[in-house]
């Protein structure tokens, strides 16, 4: 029996403008099929009813997903006042109502209370695990779900428009773990009303912005012209905030074998000057640097005590590994 083709070794990032009414998993599968890639993942789930930036990693780029997940995100969303649904979006059923329609001045007055580090209870229809089960699975089965408040960071929250008494449009810049649907609920309660999200679009994820994005139809058209690779960004695109260390071909060969390399005093000082506090997935990555050969990622590692120790090696073809 012939072995099933598992796809090609395609490496890089695709910044997808996810369409409405598609899950993030479905979007990843669609992009993977277009490129016939053997490995794919995404950085930050978008609800099916949301549109906008969904960074999709192919091949070795999947190793950099945690760095993108930690980046700030910007959302534009519309809240409908007077109704709260069980899902806190337009897909759910109405479970509470209010006759209060907040005025612009009242809305703007409460916004400072929702910036900085705040406590937020996630929606019960979320992917958070409760005793090993997804909260949304428990909620759909009719079980009572209680989630604890968690600390999140809201860098900015702005009222963009009040198109009519029933709706308000906001733009929010936030850190990891923030839920827009929960923000709509809490804003409404602070204003003596009820509310839920009726439109949601993500504009920024870390260093990825809307201007770099492409649609599925656009990708398919490019693939039909054998030009899909034009939408592919380099693996290291997600690592722009990590100090870079230029290395030789011989050093690249050693790193690929898991061996550490010695840093020149000048290199050690430069990396030390660029060092900053950085937590990724709960781990201290303050000493992390990206070793590159001719601008291409070779390995992520820690620069300590005059040496660079590889932590994660990228299995990418390098043309200069034979050079000393």
* HSE-up (13 A, CA, CB side) for residue 248: 10
Structural element, H or E, at residue 308: strand 307-313
Length of the chain: 324
Q: What is the C-alpha separation between 155 and 174, in angstroms, rounded?
A: 5
Q: What is the C-alpha separation between 286 and 274, in angstroms, rounded?
A: 10
Q: Are 188 and 81 in contact (CB under 8 A)?
A: yes
Q: Are 13 and 56 in contact (CB under 8 A)?
A: yes
Cα 105 to chain centroid, rounded:
33
Q: What is the DSSP code (8-state) at residue 235? A: G
Catalytic annotation present for 47 = yes
Q: Is 27 exposed, middle or buried (0-12, 13-18, 19+ CB in 10 A)?
A: buried
Q: What is the C-alpha separation between 135 and 225, in angstroms, rounded?
A: 43
> Could you tell me which of 102, 82, 106 has the C-alpha nearest to residue 94?
82
Q: Which long-range contacts (CB under 8 A, 24 or more apart) does 35-43 make?
A: 35/8, 35/10, 35/223, 35/228, 35/232, 36/7, 36/8, 36/10, 37/7, 37/8, 37/10, 38/6, 38/7, 38/8, 38/9, 38/10, 39/7, 41/65, 43/68, 43/69, 43/205, 43/206, 43/238
Catalytic residue among 47, 113, 161, 240: 47
* HSE-up (13 A, CA, CB side) for residue 185: 20
Residues designated catalytic: 47
């Amino acid at each position: 029996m012939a072995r099933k083709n598992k796809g090609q070794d395609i490496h890089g990032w695709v910044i997808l403008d996810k369409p409405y009414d598609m899950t993030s998993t479905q979007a990843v599968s669609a992009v993977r099929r277009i490129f016939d890639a053997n490995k794919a993942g995404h950085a930050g789930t978008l609800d099916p009813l949301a549109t906008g930036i969904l960074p999709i990693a192919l091949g070795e780029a999947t190793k950099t997903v945690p760095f993108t997940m930690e980046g700030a995100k910007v959302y534009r969303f519309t809240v409908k006042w007077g109704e709260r649904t069980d899902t806190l979006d337009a897909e759910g059923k109405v479970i509470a109502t209010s006759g209060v329609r907040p005025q612009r001045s009242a809305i703007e007055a409460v916004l400072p209370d929702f910036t900085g580090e705040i406590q937020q209870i996630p929606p019960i229809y979320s992917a958070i695990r409760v005793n090993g089960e997804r909260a949304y699975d428990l909620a759909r089965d009719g079980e009572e779900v209680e989630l604890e408040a968690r600390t999140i960071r809201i860098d900015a929250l702005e009222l963009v428009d009040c198109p009519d008494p029933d709706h308000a449009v906001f733009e929010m810049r936030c850190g990891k773990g923030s839920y827009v649907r929960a923000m709509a609920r809490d804003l409404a309660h602070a204003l003596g009303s009820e509310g839920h999200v009726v439109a949601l679009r993500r504009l920024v994820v870390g260093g990825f912005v809307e201007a770099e994005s492409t649609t599925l139809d656009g990708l398919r058209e490019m693939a039909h012209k054998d030009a899909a690779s034009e939408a592919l960004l380099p693996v290291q695109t997600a690592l722009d905030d990590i100090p870079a260390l230029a290395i030789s071909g011989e050093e690249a060969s050693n790193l690929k074998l898991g061996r550490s390399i010695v840093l020149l005093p000048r290199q050690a000082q430069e990396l030390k000057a660029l060092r900053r506090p950085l937590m990724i997935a709960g781990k201290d990555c303050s000493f992390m640097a990206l070793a590159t050969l001719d601008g291409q990622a070779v390995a992520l590692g820690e620069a300590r005590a005059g040496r660079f120790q590889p932590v994660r090696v990228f299995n990418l073809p390098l043309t200069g590994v034979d050079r000393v």
